[in-house]
Chains A and B, each alone.
Chain A
Amino acid sequence: MNWYAVRAIYGFEMARFWRTALQSIVAPVIATSLYFVVFGAAIGSRVASVDGVAYGAFIVPGLMMLSLLTQSIANASFGIYFPRFAGTIYEILSAPVSPLEIVLGYVGAAASKSILIGLIILATAALFVPLRIEHPFVMVLFLLLTAVTFSLFGFLIGLWADGFEKLQLVPLLVVTPLTFLGGSFYAIEMLPPFWRAVSLANPVVYLISGFRWAFFGTSDVGVGISFAMALVFLALCLAGVTWIFRTGYRLKS
């Protein structure tokens, strides 16, 4: 293992994060605070509790997931796309580094950033609503799994994209709708039966459900199923990345 290379890539990516601290940290915090003002305070005060949890608190796991998904994808996709766009990827390709080391560096950094942002949002939320975390270990597990899985997914997008529009396309057209329809702001059982069935095809439902279970002990689907689904997504993303490095697709001509 070339650990110096992993450290170099990881350090490079984290330096970018701190350099753009304003947009990478402050922006999500402001966005989350706005959600709390609108959904938590304005609307939430008129909504009865969901599953015995005050609405303001109920949306916290979903909001964290929303940030976790978007930040993981944005950071990882930009991290690998930009060197491809600027041409500096030549150095990564000609260095004695294995695909595993490249992924560890880029995806590790993207996951670290989004976990950090998730925790900052959790801290921000604690200022607005009283929170409890019933299963802290499971909560950390889901946090890690989601951050790593979606950073891998973002890495895939960054490898696939051949323009800045495509870099935005998947997050905008696929991930944001899936997250909003994944039960960030409601319990799935609040939906009519048909849409409830449709929702079960949405991968994000399982992540949010499992994450919410870790907080409040209530969930839309069994936590075991959520965990299994999270592992399936992780495996799918790993397979995609492996395939790209095997074939050199979009990396080497």
Chain B
Amino acid sequence: MNTMPPVLKPGATAPLRRPSAKRRLHLELRDGAAVIVFDRPDKSVNVIDTAFLDELETALRAVSRYEVKGLVFLSAKPSVFLAGADLESLGRLHGEALEHVVTRGQNVFAKIASLGVPTIAAIHGACLGGGLELALACDRRIASDEAATKLGLPETQLGLLPAWGGSTRLPRLIGLPKALDLIVNGKQVTAKHARRLGLVDEVVPKERLKARALALLDEPAPKRKSFFLTKNPASAAVIRFLTIRQLLAKTRGNYPAPLAALEVAGRGTWVTGGNLDRSFAREREAFVRLAETDAARNLLRLFFLQEKAKHDRHDPSVDVKSLPRIERTAVIGAGVMGAGIAQMIASRDFPVVLADLDPGPVAAGMKSVAALFDEGVKRRVFTKHEAGRKLDLVSPTADRVPLHRCDLVIEAAVEDLEVKKKIFADLCARTSPDTILATNTSALSVTELAKAEGITQPQRVIGLHFFNPVSRMKLVEIVTTEFTAPEVVERALAFVRSLGKTPVVVKDSPGFLVNRILMPYLIEAGRMAESGVPVATIDEAMLDFGMPMGPLRLLDEIGLDVANHVADTMVSAFGDRFEPPLLLADLVRAGHLGKKSGRGFYLHDRGKAVPDTFAKAPRDLPDKTAIANRLNELMAGESRRCLDEGIVRDAAMIDLAMILGTGYAPFRGGPLHGTTPNEPHL
């Protein structure tokens, strides 16, 4: 289309150009108003790439040529407004090319801000990152009240910062403290929450979103707050100081992005006052600098790995569409894990039977389930009403009820192979032949279980290893045996994903993947303590490395008896490298089992843990970096062995599993991809 379109007077109705199948957005002109609709072809998600920016610029130019009373942005997608920048294309750019894209985004969004007629983003669905930055360039934002509507700036979680004007515009709109909460923590909020923050002006039903946005074009611009209180240099300095302190406590300086975002957002409000361009320049400069860091690259890679784990099939030859979805489930064993799994399943709106042998343990399980829902309400994961309806989905029972309608039964009983064999044989009798039978064991052989007497269909036996606490830990190891049917693996994968968890398929082998890799690391930490390296030094070294918890503190949490037992089984499977230090056995013998007994490597008292001392410190005490290198190398080594043995197919999945399953420092990329602590990050 290269002829100039005729000027349309207000009231005229004609599309500027026919919506083409190839376009990422199209422009409608109706009743004197312009509407730009995001609708990326062949995809369910709208993202911003250079072609999107080109089209947007063209559309904006067209809008400015018409005498329209205003412009509305809409999405045609059912659950996405604009999900942000296209990370795949962005991830490939470096240096000047990267800076160019950042500049271009800023410029196009600036055109929205200076269009001269009212602009409104009518948001339904995910409005994240660059998507929200586009909305922030508008005069007004209204949002649908649907659960799909989420607003946020998650850039810092990827080691970056909002650089298409978001770090500059958000603090001006809602004030610095609230803006920092969103930018620095990468928090995503619902429409109602956004309304309270002042981020959106109105929340309306999705069906009325467009009509309301068009009607608002005729209304005078809303009065915005000036936030003079938080803008003055003194209070700004206090906010900055407090935020930095909080950030450093959390990240130990391993994550430069939130600090950079704080700096840019803060200076944009408190120093230059009205000068947008200088703030945009700071956004650009910080973004390009951050994008070149290992942290950003690793976090971006982690993001893609997670996306891959969300969709990857284990056996592409299986016709997944013909497989029945897992909807009805049962959990056998109402202990901490069983209750946690049942609560997790119910929280995702699947009915679940929670069974144990007697009403006592069932009642204890239901207490944990109820407590987890209460906690969810407190953390605003769901409302009190939602939590009540989800709790209804848990059917507690101490009877031998029929389970033939269940698609999946997860056994989470005591870690005793003989007990589990009996349970599985019994389950075979009580379920239908295609009910998947899963064990949540973390240590026992799934193969032994599949081969046990009375197991009529070993191909339906699988391991589903959830991590504790189930509601928080994202990883689930799907453990397959030589018997496991590929259909069973695919159904389990789909189910784990529908719980919002990330599955990693692993071959049955002692310790599976995560615990096996963790074990030599924990054992060596114990040996170091035995040789006199102070407990606090060891744990501090790994906290500095970026682990969420030091190895000795983790051993205390696991329970030293449990750890010792696991190490013993690993020795018989893999040999001496899993030999636990004598200190561990000594502590267990003395009844010092860790947190549960009040004493282990630490003395635990009322939530406080004081490190214990075990031997005189050696004269040549290793420094923290050396400790961390040594311990990390053990994880890397075991990871390589797992890869060689084919426990997982893909090296990257080991990195992902360790990060999600143990909290392995995400910015380092994982034990196989890792950057060593020798490389400074700040």
Partners in one complex: no
